Each structure stands twice: as structure tokens, then as C-alpha cells.
Structure 1
Amino acid sequence: MTAGAVQFPLGPFTPFERNPILTPRGETWESGSVYNPTAVVVGDRVALLYRAHADDIVSHVGLAWSDDGFCFERESEPVLSPSEDYDRFGCEDPRVSQVGDTFYLTYTGWDRDTALLCLATSQDLRNWTKHGPLFPDFDTFQPQGHGQVGPWSKAGGILPQAVDGRYLMFFGEGSIWAATSEDLIHWTPLTADDQPPVMAPRPGTFSDFLVEVGPAPLITDNGLILLIHNAAIKNADGSVRYTAGQILVHPDRPTEILAELTRPWIEPTTYEDTHGLVSNVTFVEGLVWFRDRWFAYYGQSDSTLGVATHRPGERHSELQG
């Protein structure tokens, strides 16, 4: 297997023994929770864009840098903050893809009534231009619904390689959908929200309640598309448990699943994974190849930030997930 090879399934991943790698600090904009990170390799460093907020739960996106993928130095001020009506109470849950010299960041704009998937672009990860909501009339919770009438969209992972001259995005919380674009700014869903999604919740499985897009998708060694997704079950008492799975799709037929994991590849195990603002959550939004291994970055119970790694060819005495 060559360095950076992508196979399905990708893994197994081993959580870092010194998690969490980032925690809340001070009395600042990140004093309450630090979680749900995305990542990109810039030069010989890992850049981490993460969600953080104080006790007011108004989220901002922060930026941190690492030389080894584990130890991060944070910049003091957020790089993306609420400024528009659609995100006035939060810029949440970033995912980043780099195409050429431009970084494309999807995030959730939250106005305390509606969550809308938004897009911002940057040349340096610090200065961002907002392009507004991508699917202002789309409800990604269809077909199962979620007790609310009106638009709702979260979670967008952009494949950085063009497929037949168009770019592909998987998006959605509740169910997972696909969209295409010629310019990476304007996106068109491949199906309407009254038609079947790419992936809906699976009754009786670890994705019984909902599925949600994870990090940006990857092209496997045999030319297929690997998408890591988050998944949740809802318990009788109303609490949830978030884990993560993987699906495989064909680039020519991105609305059809070729294969999927039947068990999660990461799930809550540690104290931080099982205790927090929303307990029992491992929520993956960042995945990069750095030096000799894969790094998967995830939120721990909406409170702290962890990482798990997979080194191709390394033997494991016990598979994770």
C-alpha cells in the first residue's frame, strides 16, 4: 500500500491516548466548548478550523496549527464569526476543501430558528468571504422529517477533484444528499427533497435516528468515492448517541451507495466522549493524510476535541469499531 492510499473501509483508527487535544480556555469566545473540527494540510503543518463558543452558545470558527498533528497552537481571535442575519447566532460545524489556491469552507448558519448550510472562501484561512446559504429552500431531514416545517440544511463535504467537469458535494443532516457545481460557489442538488436521498437513516442500526455528512469525501485507489458520515440513535429518554460510518459511491452515480459499513468505525469510549454539553458523541468533521498516517479529528460530546489515527500497514491487535 502506498503512502496516503485510500481504500474502503479506511482504518482501523486508534484514538490518541492523550485526548482531548483542545479544550475550552479562559473567559473568551472559546470558554464554553471547543469541538467539531475540520482540517487541511498547509505546507508541512496541519491547520485545524474548529467550532467554539462561550456559555452563550454563539459559535465562532477558530484556527489552530500543528507540526505533528497532535499538539496545536491556537490563534487568539476567531477567523469566522456571526455577521449576517442567517448566521447571527452562530457559525457552526466547518468543513474545508482546498481547490487550487482557494479554500472552500462550508458551515452552518444558525439564527435560532433555522439552520442553513453556508459557504465561505479564503486564500489564507484567516480572511473569509461569505457567499451565503447554499440551499435556502431545502430540508435535508426528508423523507423522515424532524417535527419542523420549513428549510433546514447542515453539513457539506466538497470533493476537491472535478468529476466530468463538475464538482461534487455531499450535504445534509437527517439524510445525506448530493449536489454539483461548475464554479464551486453555486450548487444544484441532484435530486429534490421530495425524492429519495443518497442515504437515509437505517432502522435498527447505529444510524437509526439520523445520518450526517462528515469530512470532505475522498477518491479511493480504484476511483470510487469514500464518504465518512456521522450517525445517531435516539434513546427512549430523548438522549442521543453519535458514532461514525463510511459509505462508498461511484462518481458516475453519486446518488447510489455501492457499499457501507454495518458497524461504526469510531464511537464514544472515553470520559470526554461520554460526558459533555451533549453526551455520548464522537462527531467527525476533519480527515487528512499527514506524513505517514491518517488523522481523523472529531468533537467529543460537544465540549472538547479529539483525534484518532490510522497508519496503513500497521498491525492492530484489536480492530476499532
Structure 2
Amino acid sequence: MTKEYSWMLGPFEKAAEANPCLVPNAVSRFFCPVQEKELGWEAKDVFNPAAVVKDDRVYLLYRAEDHEGKYAGTSRIGLAVSDDGLHFTTMPEPVLYPEKDEFSVYEWEGGCEDPRIVETKDGRYFLYYTSYNGKVALLCCAESTDLVHWKKHGPIFKDAMNGKYKNLWSKSGAVVCRQEGDHFYPVKLKETYWMYWGESDIYAATSDDLIHWTPVEFLADGADPSHSFSQHDSRCKDNDEVARVLLPIIRPRVGNYDEFLCEPGPQAILTDAGIVLIYNGKGDNPERLGGHDTMYQGGQLLIDPENPTCLIARTTRPFISPSESFELEGQVMPTCFLEGLVSFHGRYYMYYGTADSKVAVASAPQK
């Protein structure tokens, strides 16, 4: 792994003694309230976890798939816990999943996918996960005080701008946080919370309550694209003469490890150098990637906290790449897909999905 710039987190080293730290489990059973039958909810694949520290233990909220249905398995969110950040014990049933409720129109039968998590100082946890109904993926929010029982709030953009983005394909919400000890708390910049999200380009969104979010747009009539705004800006008032479109923070780069797709990883971290965002890049160059058509690898961004839509720096090389057998072969192409990051006992632990089939961990010293 490379460490390109002083502002980067890391360098990270894969924990060979523990990896993969989560694998599918054909024994655990769950009664699906939609299908009204018992099934092996994590028998097929487990991957792409969120991570948080609670009561001096590391908790993973991971995506698990069964063998049922037409989308290569319905996804549910399971919960695992560890005393050392490396070895995990899983709960026998999922904690967030499709039900016969008002949210099934978004979640069935693809399921609940790819969570990210933040916590607040008053003991609340906000989980940002992707719902998939077979037609569209929507970034959704759920809230909990114990990580086990969750209240769903539905798609985070459904009320923004009179529903302009309620049906927009959206994924991967990484909220800007400040680290305090072993905890990452959402922090307001310019009097609002910020999130980075997207699949292909990476965009921004703002919120007052961590539940309802508004995508950041820019004026598409020739105005300076750096003049971005959200619901907190007077320029966001309705004006039929001005076209507004989403403002990309970054886009894929031709000829690089992220030439096909960019997608946020864990929560973004406000540091002395700026906002550091770990992200996932999908490349598409067989010659450079050792004969593989595509590959997911990890990069990092540095963003200006005074203007959270302004990129300061971006890695030119991945800092983590597939190399182990369980990262190279599985449900999908060679993949290290980064989603969970905690501070624990003086180190960073980063959790990632491997080939959409298992979960692995890498760690790094803290500066």
C-alpha cells in the first residue's frame, strides 16, 4: 500500500491473521415477514459493512444475501460485534430488512444494501443504506439507539426541492464527522451537516437533522460551477429561467484506477488538513489490471472545509487493492470495497467487502 500525501489516513495493512473476518453462514435462519417462510438469510454472501464503536467494542452492520429471489439474493443488514476489532461474533438474525410496511415499495425484493453509519453525542445512530426494488436504488435513512432496533425514515431525498430527486438512483452516503476519541460525530459546516454520495460521480448534500437531505446543485446557465448552493442559499429559490443540476465533487478519470466509477466509502473526517474522504474507484483497463476487466480499489480525497464542494487533492494511485484469493474471486470482479472505519485502541480499523462475498479488515496507526 502506498502513502502519497501527508494528509492521507494510513498507511493501512491488511490483517492477515484475521481475514476474512466475516464469511457466509448457512446455519443461521430467519423468518422472512414478506415471504412468510424461514430461510438462510446470510448463506450466500456477506460484504460491505458499516462500522462503529459502542461500549468499547466494534460493531459491524454488514450486508448479507440469501439464495432466494431473482436479484441474486435479497439483501438484509446483519450485526456483528468484536472485542479486538479483528474477530467477530454475529447475531443470529438480521437487524434491518424488508418487511410488509410502507417501505417495501423501495426495498422488495432487492433488499437493504451497503450501509454507512454515524452516531450523535446524545446516543442516536443514523444508518444510511441503499434500498433496491429491482428498478431503482435509493439512499435511505434509519435511526436507532441500540444498533438492534431501527426506525426507518425512507429515502433521504424524497422531500427535497418538491420531490425533484425522489426517484434519483442514489447510493453511498458518507457524512462529514469530527473524531473525538474513538467516536466520529457529525459536524456542521456553514451551519449545516454535509454528506458525500453517489455512484459514478461523487456529489454533496446538506441537512439540518441528519434525516432529510438536499442535493447540492449549481447554476447551469453559464454561472461559475464553484458557486454551489443548497436549501440554505437564497439562490435556491424557484426560478424557471435558471437550470440547476447536481454538482460533482469528483468524476472518474480516464486511464486511472477510478476511470469507470467513483463511490464514497466510510464517513468523511474533518482533520487539521481538511476533510478526508476515503472512496472506492472502479477501473476498466485489462492491461493495467493484470488481465482483469474491472477492479474496485480504494482512493482518498482532501476537500476544503470552508467550501465543502471544493477538492484540494486526490490520490493518483490506490492505497488498497485486491491481492488475496478472497478479494480476487467471489460474486463479482476483484474487489476491495471500503465502507466501515473506526478508531479503536489507538488504531484505525477499516472494514471492506471482498469480491462481494466476504468481509476483511485492514488497520493503520493514528497520527
One fold, TM greater than 0.5? yes
Give the deviation of 1:252 after TM superposition: 2.0
What whole-Å deviation, never above 9, does each CA across 1:201-230 have from its counterpart, x for those lacking one? 1111111001001001111134x1110000
Asked whether 1:85 is paired with 2:105, we answer yes
CA distance in 2, matches of 1:235, 1:25: 34
Query: Does the aligned pair in 1 maintain the 2:203–2:246 contact within 8 Å?
Result: no
What whole-Å deviation, never above 9, does each CA across 1:96-146 have from its counterpart, x for those lacking one? 00012110100000001111111111111111111111235549xxxxxxx
Compared with structure 1, are the counterparts of its residues 178 and 195 closer, same or farther at alpha carbon in structure 2 (3 Å cutoff)? closer
SS in 2 for 1:253: coil
Asked whether 1:131 is paired with 2:157, we answer no
Equivalent residue runs for 1:45-124 within 5 Å: 45-56=57-68, 57-83=73-99, 84-89=104-109, 90-100=111-121, 101-124=123-146
Amino acid at match of 2:168: P
Q: Which runs of 4+ in 1 moved over 6 A?
A: none
**More displaced, 127-136 or 34-43?**
127-136
Match of 1:233 in 2: 283
Match of 2:204 in 1: 178
What whole-Å deviation, never above 9, does each CA across 1:260-293 have from its counterpart, x for those lacking one? 1111111100000100000200000001110021
CA distance in 1, matches of 2:131, 2:153: 11
Compared with structure 1, are the counterparts of its residues 22 and 214 closer, same or farther at alpha carbon in structure 2 (3 Å cutoff)? same
Asked whether 1:9 is paired with 2:63, we answer no
Amino acid at match of 1:134: I
Match of 2:241 in 1: none
CA radius of gyration, larger in: 2
Match of 1:166 among 166, 169, 192: 192
Aligned-residue sequence identity (percent) comes to 43
SS in 1 for 2:118: strand
SS in 2 for 1:205: coil
Match of 1:290 in 2: 344
Give the deviation of 1:256 after TM superposition: 1.1
Query: Does the aligned pair in 2 maintain the 1:135–1:153 contact within 8 Å?
Result: no
Asked whether 1:194 is paired with 2:214, we answer no
CA distance in 2, matches of 1:195, 1:86: 23
Unaligned runs of 5+ in 1: 1-6, 140-149, 314-321
Equivalent residue runs for 1:271-282 within 5 Å: 271-282=325-336
Give the deviation of 1:239 after TM superposition: 4.1
SS in 2 for 1:273: helix
Asked whether 1:155 is paired with 2:172, we answer yes
Amino acid at match of 1:92: E
Match of 2:271 in 1: 220
Give the deviation of 1:250 after TM superposition: 1.2
Q: How many residues align?
A: 296
- What is the TM-score with the length of structure 2 in the denominator? 0.77
What whole-Å deviation, never above 9, does each CA across 1:28-76 have from its counterpart, x for those lacking one? 2000001001100002100110000112310000001000000111011
Amino acid at match of 2:84: D
Give the deviation of 1:166 after TM superposition: 1.1
Match of 2:313 among 232, 235, 259: 259
CA RMSD of aligned residues (A): 1.8
Query: Does the aligned pair in 1 maintain the 2:204–2:247 contact within 8 Å?
Result: no
